[in-house]
Amino acid sequence: MSDLPDDFNCTITNWEYIYGLCRTVSDQVKRAEFEPDVVVALARGGWFAGRCTCDFLGLDDLTSLKMEHYVGAAEKSDEPTVRYPMPEGSVEGKDVLIIDDIADTGGSIRRAQEYVEERNAGEVRTATLQLLRTSEFDPDFVGERLEEWAWIVYPWNFIEDMIDLIAGVMERADEETFDRESVRHYLAEYHSVDRIEMEIAQPDRLTEVLAEMERREVIESRGPDQWALAE
């Protein structure tokens, strides 16, 4: 998220919604009569999808591949790379379904497919829960195509993303201290995070996120319902 522009829209999701997308992808796999032997879930965003897909499809072979876009501090490589090599025997001779949460450039899932194919897998197909129009790669199975680019806040990294977003708006807004109301105000202003939408997707989480930001020393308390970025 670190290399995004100041203003970008965010969509906050919840477990039920994302679980529905896992079911949609799995239904597509069934309809296509593709019967993978193993699911390769891309770390870290594809793990929940990989596990749920195994459940929907009745598979017990689930493995992982960690893709990285980042080569150094805030430096984005064009070509995603595989972080750790796959253990021998993970995919050789097997039909593989590779799954990730979202394709943005599409580079991660495309590179993952090449990597798996280089390991003499059988048939290899790809899936993402969501697909942005920016993607240059078209996965075989897609839970949902998004018309507008947005940063999707997934439930498995809700705290991580909200900390980044809130720290970002605090840095940008011309104020010394923030209460809960002003945090909500700037999330709406800079990222179109609507208060009601956020409460529906992730009810009562703002206080928890602020407490966690304090624990991680990203912000510091300046009195009741008052915080400032930590020095």
Binding site for ligand AMP (CB under 6 A): 45, 69, 80, 100-108, 151-152
Query: The tokens of 83 are what?
Result: 């972080």
**Residue (165 or 219) nearer to ligand AMP, CB:** 165
Residue 74 CB, nearest distance to ligand AMP (Å)?
Answer: 15
Query: The tokens of 30 are what?
Result: 């069934």
SS3 94: coil
CB 108 within 8 A of CB 46: no
Q: Please name the amino acid found at residue 138.
A: D
Residue 131 CB, nearest distance to ligand AMP (Å)?
Answer: 9
**Residue (2 or 207) nearer to ligand AMP, CB:** 2
**Residue (133 or 180) nearer to ligand AMP, CB:** 133
Residue 199 CB, nearest distance to ligand AMP (Å)?
Answer: 21
- Helix, strand, coil shares of the chain, percent, nearest 5, are 40, 25, 35
Q: Which residues, at least 6 apart from 106, have a Cβ–Cβ distance to it below 8 Å?
A: 134, 135, 136, 137, 138
| Distance (Å, whole) CA 24 – CA 27 | 5
Where helices occur in 32-106 by DSSP H, the ranges are 47-57
Residue 227 CB, nearest distance to ligand AMP (Å)?
Answer: 26
**Residue (80 or 143) nearer to ligand AMP, CB:** 80
Residue 103 CB, nearest distance to ligand AMP (Å)?
Answer: 4
Which residue shows structure tokens 């920016």?
Answer: 134
Output the CA angle 152-111-65, nearest 5 degrees: 75
**Residue (69 or 205) nearer to ligand AMP, CB:** 69
